[in-house]
Amino acid sequence: MPCAAFEDLLDGYDELDAAERQRVSTHMAVCGDCREYLETLADLDRELAGLYQGLQPRPGFMADGFAAEVISRASAARKPLRQPRPPSAWPEILDFCGWAAIAAIVALLGVTATAQAGITLQFPAYAGWYAAAAFALAALLTLTWRAKSGISFRAR
């Protein structure tokens, strides 16, 4: 790896003035990394020159209309971006239903365990309706919060 102070100078070695070239040459006499880096750059230049030897740009290639032609071709090739869809709320709904099922199973296990222990539970009238209403209210609050946050109900 070349020395940081000389790397930019080595990249433009052919364009250096005499004083800078002498300074770089003096440094390369003692620094093998910089010398190797310059040799690698020279090899790369030779390979590229050989690879593209004989190729000529078409007439008028660098005329004033070149930049406009490049811009027009690039804009014609560019595809319009799709508008991203808002994320789906279905994973959240399924997650809520899963947790509700776990809560129901725990409640049923608790009722079963107390019944086996001989403890009689007195549920108020319409307890099932109260539980269903609580479930519906929780679902409604979850969906309302998701709707306000911009999450849609479309599947991805």
Predicted confidence (pLDDT) per residue in 27-51, tens digit: 888 888 888 888 888 888 888 888 7
Place of tokens 């690879």: 51
Residue 152: pLDDT over 70: no
pLDDT number for residue 75: 74
Residue 152: strand pairing partners: 88
76-114 pLDDT, tens digit per residue, is 766 666 776 777 777 877 887 888 888 888 888 888 888
pLDDT number for residue 139: 77
What is the three-class DSSP state of 59?
coil
Domain range summary for the chain, segments of one domain joined by +: 1-56, 90-148
The pLDDT mean for the chain works out to: 77
DSSP 100-144: HHHHHHHHHHHHHHHHHTTPPP-PPTTHHHHHHHHHHHHHHHHHH
| Spatial distance between the Cα atoms of 76 and 61, rounded to a whole number of angstroms | 19
Q: Residue 14: pLDDT band by 50, 70, 90 thresholds? A: confident
pLDDT number for residue 146: 63
**CA nearest to 154, candidates 94, 86, 97:** 86
| Spatial distance between the Cα atoms of 92 and 68, rounded to a whole number of angstroms | 50
What is the pTM for the complete model shown?
0.37
- The most confident of 58-67, 114-123, 135-144, by mean pLDDT: 114-123
Give the torsion sign (CA, 7, 13, 19, 25). positive
Place of tokens 């009722």: 111
Place of tokens 């991805």: 156
